[in-house]
């Protein structure tokens, strides 16, 4: 899950550069090896296909029309890291200060799910809040201090990340 608060609501010129990239960034995610699925947002009413969008408590209740968020599933950490830090998404990350407020909270959280697990926004927000309150744990972690699927600390395989990266 990623979540940030935009400086302005959807449709405002200040954040339009971000919004103009969304379709291409989502297409790039779908083309990245290891991508499984993502929640799809209906911008007309701010709903998502994987349940009602919720703001993590650590964001302190920003207006829903200023929350930019994604919830997606991936085969492994290297795949999502390759997507996040390369290609159009990586370029967009360099521009984030133009579009998003800087807050002293995590902007993303990762965790392992089984095939039987349901991925939804309620679960995601609890895990991001846990990361904010407790740091990286097997329940919710970041790329700097990840855990493997058995709950053991691990490291990203940089060679795999590079091999899966978009140029």
Residues 107, 115: Cα–Cα separation, whole Å: 25
pLDDT at position 46 is 64
User: How close are the terminal C-alpha atoms of the chain, in Å?
Assistant: 23
* Residue 87 DSSP SS3: helix
Domain of 144?
2-164
Residue pLDDT, tens place only, 84-93: 999 999 999 9
Instruction: Supply the Cα-derived Rg of the chain in whole angstroms.
Output: 15
How far out from the chain centre does Cα 68 lie? 9
The DSSP annotation for 109-165 comes to: -B----TTPPP-HHHHHHHHHHHHHH-SBTTBB-SSS-B-TTS-B----HHHHHHH-
Q: Give the number of domains in the chain.
A: 1
Residues 110, 73: Cα–Cα separation, whole Å: 9
pLDDT at position 138 is 98
Q: If you average pLDDT over residues 129-145, what whole number do you get? A: 98
Residues 35, 73: Cα–Cα separation, whole Å: 7
pLDDT at position 49 is 84
Supply the DSSP symbol for 45: T
pLDDT at position 42 is 76
pLDDT confidence bin for 1, thresholds 50/70/90? very high
Q: Are 77 and 13 in contact (CB under 8 A)?
A: no
pLDDT at position 166 is 80
Q: If you average pLDDT over residues 103-123, what whole number do you get? A: 94
Q: Which two tokens stand for residue 107?
A: 């902007």
């Amino acid at each position: 899950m990623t979540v940030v608060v935009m400086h302005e609501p959807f449709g405002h010129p200040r954040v339009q550069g971000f919004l103009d990239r969304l379709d291409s960034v989502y297409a790039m995610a779908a083309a990245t090896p290891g991508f499984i699925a993502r929640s799809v947002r209906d911008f007309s009413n701010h709903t998502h296909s994987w349940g009602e969008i919720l703001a993590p408590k650590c964001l302190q209740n920003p207006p829903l029309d200023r929350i930019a968020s994604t919830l997606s599933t991936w085969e492994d950490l290297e795949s999502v890291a390759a997507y996040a830090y390369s290609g159009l998404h990586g370029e967009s990350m360099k521009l984030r200060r133009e579009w998003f407020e800087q807050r002293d909270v995590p902007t993303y959280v990762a965790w392992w799910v089984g095939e039987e697990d349901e991925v939804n926004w309620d679960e995601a927000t609890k895990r991001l809040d846990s990361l904010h309150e407790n740091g990286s744990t097997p329940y919710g972690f970041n790329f700097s201090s990840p855990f493997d699927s058995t709950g053991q600390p691990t490291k990203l395989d940089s060679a795999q990340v590079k091999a899966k990266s978009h140029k």
